[in-house]
């Protein structure tokens, strides 16, 4: 992690961004978005994670999260390690993935510059962690997350984007449950 974005207070809520290397549009495919949703649900139920807000864009994920117990940095490490290995496998083993060779090349290229990554790297190593120590900061980041698909021109209203907690907060059924802020 970059020094400016370290998780210092492990008990506080944080805004996090997990970015795919090379800004590769992996999450343009439903199967990969669904895998992230499954893992966020698992983290809420089994890893003591408060998931206040999320959005899954085509090449990155924004989260507002906090841990009930343990260290947030441990959750981040474990989540990114598990999801990166599984997502690479899903991409490379998916016979319907027309971009398989190109994505493999992107993952290989970025791994060359980082000794920790092995042969293939999925996520960048920075999480852009921002501690949210005031309620207004959480509200601001939640608005930023929910407006992301609107700013990208994908939907007109935040709650229209399926892969976001904006649906939960607008009274619609979200794809996964969240912990309301």
Query: Residues with Cβ < 8 Å from 77, sequence gap 6 or more?
Result: none
Q: Say if 180 falls within a structural domain.
A: no
Residue 127: CATH number of its domain: 3.30.70.1290
Q: Say if 25 falls within a structural domain.
A: yes
Question: Per the confidence metrics, is the pTM higher than 0.75?
Answer: yes
Q: What are 88-103's pLDDT values in tens digits? A: 999 999 999 999 999 9
Domain span at residue 76? 3-169
Q: Say if 175 falls within a structural domain.
A: no
Q: What are 125-170's pLDDT values in tens digits? A: 999 999 999 999 999 999 999 999 999 999 999 999 999 999 999 9
Q: Which two tokens stand for residue 153?
A: 């021109």
Overall number of domains in the chain: 1
The count of other CB atoms within 10 Å of the CB of residue 100 is 14
Q: Say if 52 falls within a structural domain.
A: yes
Q: What are 39-89's pLDDT values in tens digits? A: 999 999 999 999 999 999 999 999 999 999 999 999 999 999 999 999 999
Q: Say if 176 falls within a structural domain.
A: no
Indicate the average pLDDT of the chain: 95
């Amino acid at each position: 992690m970059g020094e400016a974005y370290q998780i210092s207070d492990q008990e506080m809520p944080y805004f996090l961004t997990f970015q795919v290397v090379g800004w590769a549009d992996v999450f343009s495919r439903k199967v990969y978005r669904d895998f992230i949703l499954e893992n966020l649900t698992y983290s809420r139920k089994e890893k003591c994670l408060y998931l206040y807000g999320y959005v899954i864009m085509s090449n990155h994920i924004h989260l507002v999260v906090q841990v009930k117990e343990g260290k947030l940095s441990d959750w981040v490490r474990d989540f990114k390690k598990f999801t990166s290995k599984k997502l690479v496998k899903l991409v490379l083993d998916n016979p319907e993935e027309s971009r398989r060779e190109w994505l493999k090349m992107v993952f290989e290229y970025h791994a060359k510059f980082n000794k920790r990554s092995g042969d293939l790297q999925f996520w960048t190593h920075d999480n852009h962690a921002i501690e949210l120590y005031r309620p207004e900061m959480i509200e601001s980041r939640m608005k930023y997350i929910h407006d992301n698909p609107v700013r990208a021109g994908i939907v007109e209203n935040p709650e229209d984007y399926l892969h976001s907690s904006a649906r939960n907060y607008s009274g619609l059924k979200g794809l996964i449950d969240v912990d309301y802020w």
